[in-house]
């Protein structure tokens, strides 16, 4: 999609009620027109997040962007572990990526940008979270998201052996981290399933949803030719579940709360009014 295509896409999605978009990839900062794309979303009235590995953008380049929230991937506070998980196309560790990602975090903080570190948990880093907590604290990071790897894309292959992590060890470390670094907002997502409520705009302009039941990305239609009603009544996309995910993440409810209290999601009577 061209820059102009994205301008049209964001205007269209805003008319549908879109509130936030995450510009991700791959690595979105490889596009030289990413600042223009980000501006087009902001100008359409959409909140923007940019998810990056932090390796490409220099501090001076940040001035080209509107006010967005930066999500920066950092897998470990131990350099060799982070770089081993950031493989290059030739399947060799990305040498220098730990330092460059850290430099980018410092640049964001220095310029007053909203920034959040994202860490996907796996056997490679599950036992060294405190080292990363210390690194983020010394770097000045205030928000840190820990999450389990989705059973999607390349992670579908041999998921249990390569990506599954034991909950007990993570929760124990999480308790210590929150006590040691109370000035960092540390979130933990246990979600590893996303069946039909995550909305994607693919590079060719098609809409898709993410599934973790073996189907991976499922196409919903062409963004430029379909209607909101097409999306609402698609058998592949659960718009109501998408709304529940949004509300629960906003209120910071954990998924187990929803399972224990399904009545929270019972339909309201037609004449009722819910004020938040």
Is pLDDT at 260 greater than 80 in this prediction?
A: no
Provide the whole-model pTM: 0.85
Among the residue ranges 28-37, 66-75, 171-180, 186-195, the one predicted with the least confidence is: 186-195
Dihedral of alpha carbons 49, 54, 58, 59, sign: positive
Q: What is the mean pLDDT of residues 18-37?
A: 94
* 8 A C-beta contact, residue 144 and residue 117: yes
pLDDT of residue 242: 76
Q: What average pLDDT does the chain have?
A: 86
pLDDT in tens, 161-207: 888 888 888 999 999 999 999 999 999 987 767 777 788 999 999 99
Pairing status of strand 47-52 against strand 69-73: parallel
Is pLDDT at 248 greater than 90 in this prediction?
A: no
Higher pLDDT, 258 or 224: 224
pLDDT of residue 25: 86
pLDDT of residue 64: 96
- Cα 210 to Cα 153: distance, rounded to the nearest angstrom: 10
Q: What is the mean pLDDT of residues 15-40?
A: 94
Q: Dmax over Cα atoms in the chain, in whole Å?
A: 61
| Omega cis (within 30) before 240 | no
pLDDT level of residue 89 (50, 70, 90 thresholds):
low
Locus of tokens 């389990």 = 148
Is pLDDT at 262 greater than 90 in this prediction?
A: no
pLDDT of residue 12: 95
pLDDT of residue 276: 31
Higher pLDDT, 98 or 157: 98
Buried b or exposed e, range 79-92, using 16+ CB within 10 angstroms: bebbbbbbeeeeee
Residue 142 phi/psi, 5-degree rounding, is: -110, -15
What stretches of 106-156 adopt beta strand conformation (E)? 114-121, 143-148
For the chain, what's the residue count?
Answer: 276
Residue 200 phi/psi, 5-degree rounding, is: -120, 140
* 8 A C-beta contact, residue 199 and residue 16: no
Q: What is the 8-class DSSP label of residue 17?
A: T
Q: Averaging pLDDT over each range in 56-60, 126-130, 215-219, 265-269, which range is the top one?
A: 126-130
- Cα 123 to Cα 39: distance, rounded to the nearest angstrom: 38
Q: Tell me the percentage of the chain whose pLDDT exceeds 90.
A: 58
Sequence spans of domains, the chain: 3-241
228 by DSSP, 3-state: which? Answer: helix
Higher pLDDT, 54 or 166: 54
- Cα 63 to Cα 59: distance, rounded to the nearest angstrom: 8
pLDDT of residue 86: 79
pLDDT level of residue 252 (50, 70, 90 thresholds):
low
Q: Which fold has domain 3-241?
A: TIM Barrel (3.20.20)
pLDDT of residue 249: 66
Locus of tokens 């223009």 = 36
């Amino acid at each position: 999609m061209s820059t102009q295509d994205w301008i049209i896409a964001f205007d269209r999605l805003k008319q549908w009620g879109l509130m936030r978009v995450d510009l991700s990839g791959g690595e979105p900062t490889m596009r030289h027109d990413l600042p223009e794309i980000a501006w087009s979303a902001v100008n359409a009235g959409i909140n923007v997040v940019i998810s990056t590995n932090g390796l490409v953008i220099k501090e001076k380049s940040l001035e080209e962007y509107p006010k967005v929230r930066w999500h920066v991937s950092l897998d470990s506070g131990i350099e060799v572990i982070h770089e081993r998980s950031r493989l290059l196309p030739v399947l060799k560790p990305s040498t220098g990526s730990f330092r460059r990602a850290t430099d980018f975090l410092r640049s964001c903080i220095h310029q007053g940008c909203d920034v959040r570190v994202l860490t996907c948990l796996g056997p490679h880093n599950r036992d060294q979270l405190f080292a990363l907590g210390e690194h983020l604290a010394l770097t000045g990071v205030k928000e840190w998201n820990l999450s389990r790897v989705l059973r999607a894309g390349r992670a579908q292959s041999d998921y249990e052996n390569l990506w599954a992590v034991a909950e007990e060890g993570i929760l124990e470390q999480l308790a210590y981290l929150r006590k040691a670094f109370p000035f960092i907002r540390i979130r933990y997502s246990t979600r590893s399933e996303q069946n039909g409520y995550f909305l994607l705009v693919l590079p060719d302009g098609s809409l898709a949803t993410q599934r973790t039941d073996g189907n991976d990305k499922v196409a919903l239609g062409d963004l430029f030719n379909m209607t909101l009603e097409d999306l609402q009544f698609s058998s592949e996309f659960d718009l109501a579940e998408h709304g529940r995910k949004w509300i629960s993440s906003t209120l910071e409810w954990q998924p187990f709360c929803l399972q224990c209290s399904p009545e929270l999601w019972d339909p309201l009577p037609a004449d009722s009014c819910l004020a938040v």
